[in-house]
Chain A
Amino acid sequence: MPSHDATRAPDPVPADRRLSRRSLLRGSAVAGATGLAVTAMGAVAGPALADSRRPSATEPSATDLASGRGEAALPNEPIVVHVRDAKSGDIEVFSGTSQTRLRDQDLAARIARAIA
Chain B
Amino acid sequence: MSSHREAPEISKDPVADSTDVYAFVSPDAPGTVTLIANYVPLQLPSGGPNFYEFGDDVLYEIHIDNNGDGRADISYQFRFRTTVRNPGTFLYNTGAITSLTDPHWNRVQTYDVAVVSGGSQSTLGTGLPCPPCNIGPLSTPDYASLAAAAVNHLNGISVFAGQRAEAFYVDLGAIFDLGDLRPFEHLHAPVGMLGAMSGVNATNHLNVSSIAIQVPISTVTISGHPTIGVWTTASRRRVTVWDADRGETVLSGPWRQVSRLGNPLVNEVLIPMGEKDLWNSLPPADDKKFAGYITHPGLAGLLNTLYPGVFPHLAALVAAKKPRADLEAILLTGIPAGIITGFTNFTGPVLADMLRLNTSIAPATKPNILGLVGGDAAGFPNGRRVADDVVTIELRAIAGVTYPLIDSHFKPDGAAGAITDFASDPPAIGSRPIHTFPYLGVPYSGYNHPS
A and B are partners in one complex rather than unrelated chains: yes
> Are the C-beta atoms of A6 and B121 separated by less than 8 Å?
no
Query: How many Å lie between the Cα of A112 and that of B59 in the bound state?
Result: 34
Q: Is the CB of A94 within 8 A of B238?
A: yes
CB-nearest residue of chain B relative to A100? B253
Q: Contacts A39-B241, A96-B252, A99-B254 hold; do A9 and B283 have CB atoms under 8 A apart? A: no
Closest to B257 in A: A2
**Contact yes or no, B241 A37, CB < 8 A:** yes
Q: Which residue of A lies closest to B284 (CB)?
A: A2
Per-residue interface assignment for chain A, residues 8 to 24, with 1 indicating a CB less than 8 Å from any chain B CB and 0 otherwise: 11101000000000000
The winner among A5, A9, A79, A95 for most chain B CB atoms within 10 A is: A5
Type the 1/0 row for A33-73, where 1 means its CB is closer than 8 Å to any CB of B: 00001110000000000000000000000000000000000
The answer to whether B253 and A94 have CB atoms under 8 Å apart is: yes
Residue A78 CB within 8 A of the other chain: yes
User: What residues on A are CB-neighbors of B59 within 8 Å?
Assistant: 1
Given contacts A7-B119, A39-B241, contact A80 B67 (CB under 8 A): no
If A1-B59, A39-B243, A94-B238 touch, whether A6 touches B119 (CB-CB below 8 Å) is yes
Interface of A, secondary structure class, is loop
Give B103-121 as 1s and 0s: 1 = Cβ < 8 Å from A's Cβ atoms.
Answer: 0000000000000111111
From known contacts A1-B233, A1-B235, infer whether A6 and B118 are also in contact, taking CB-CB under 8 Å: yes
State in angstroms the CA–CA spacing of A38 and B253 once bound together.
13
Cβ distance B361 to chain A, nearest Cβ, rounded Å? 24
The residues in A between 70 and 107 inclusive whose CB is less than 8 angstroms from any CB of B are 77-80, 82, 94-99
Bound-state Cα–Cα, A97 to B254, Å: 4
Give Cα A98 to B237, complex, Å: 10
Closest to A82 in B: B239
What number of A-B contacts does a CB cutoff of 8 Å give?
83
CB distance B254 to A98 under 8 Å?
yes
- B447 interface residue, CB < 8 Å from A? no
Taking A37-B241, A39-B241 as contacts, is the C-beta distance between A5 and B67 under 8 angstroms?
A: yes
Contact status of A10 and B121, CB under 8 A, knowing A1-B61, A97-B254: yes
Which residues of the partner chain A approach B283 to less than 8 Å between Cβ atoms?
2-3
Complex Cα–Cα for A38 and B185 (A): 54
From B65, B235, B250, name the one whose CB has the most chain A CB atoms within 10 angstroms: B250
The answer, yes or no, to whether B69 is at the interface (CB within 8 Å) is yes
Cα A100 to Cα B255 with chains together (Å): 14
A80 lies within 8 A of B121 (CB): no
Q: Does any Cβ of A come within 8 Å of B356's Cβ?
A: no
A5-B72 Cα distance, complex, nearest whole Å: 5
Interface residues of B in 72-97 (CB under 8 A from A): 72-73, 75
B285 CB within 8 Å of chain A: yes
Mask, B239-254, CB within 8 Å of A = 1, is 1010100000010111
Least CB distance, A39 to chain B, in whole angstroms: 5
What does the 1/0 interface line of B136-166 toward A look like (CB < 8 Å)? 0000000000000000000000000000000
The complex places the Cα of A8 from the Cα of B256 at a distance, in Å, of: 14
B260 (CB) vs chain A CBs: closest residue: A2
Q: Is the CB of A80 within 8 A of B233?
A: no
- 1/0 contact trace for B260-293 toward A, CB 8 Å? 1000000000000000000000110100000000
Nearest CB in chain A to that of B114: its residue: A9
Q: From B73, which residue of chain A is reached at the shortest CB distance?
A: A5
Of A2, A37, A97, A99, which is within 8 A of B72 by CB? A2
B186 beta carbon closer than 8 Å to chain A: no
Q: In angstroms, how far is the closest chain B Cβ from the Cβ of A86?
A: 18
Which residue from chain B places its CB closest to the CB of A2 in the assembled complex? B283
Neighbouring A residues of B241 by C-beta, 8 Å? 37-39, 78, 80
Q: How far is the CA of A12 from the CA of B255 in the complex (A)?
A: 11
Nearest chain A CB to B237 CB, angstrom units: 7
Contact of A1 among B119, B120, B257 (CB under 8 A): B257
9 intermolecular pairs with C-beta atoms under 8 Å apart: A2-B61, A3-B72, A4-B73, A6-B118, A9-B121, A39-B252, A78-B241, A80-B250, A99-B238
4 further A-B pairs in the complex, CB-CB below 8 A; given A2-B233, A97-B254:
A4-B75, A5-B69, A5-B71, A39-B243
Interface residues of A (CB under 8 A from B): 1-10, 12, 37-39, 77-80, 82, 94-99
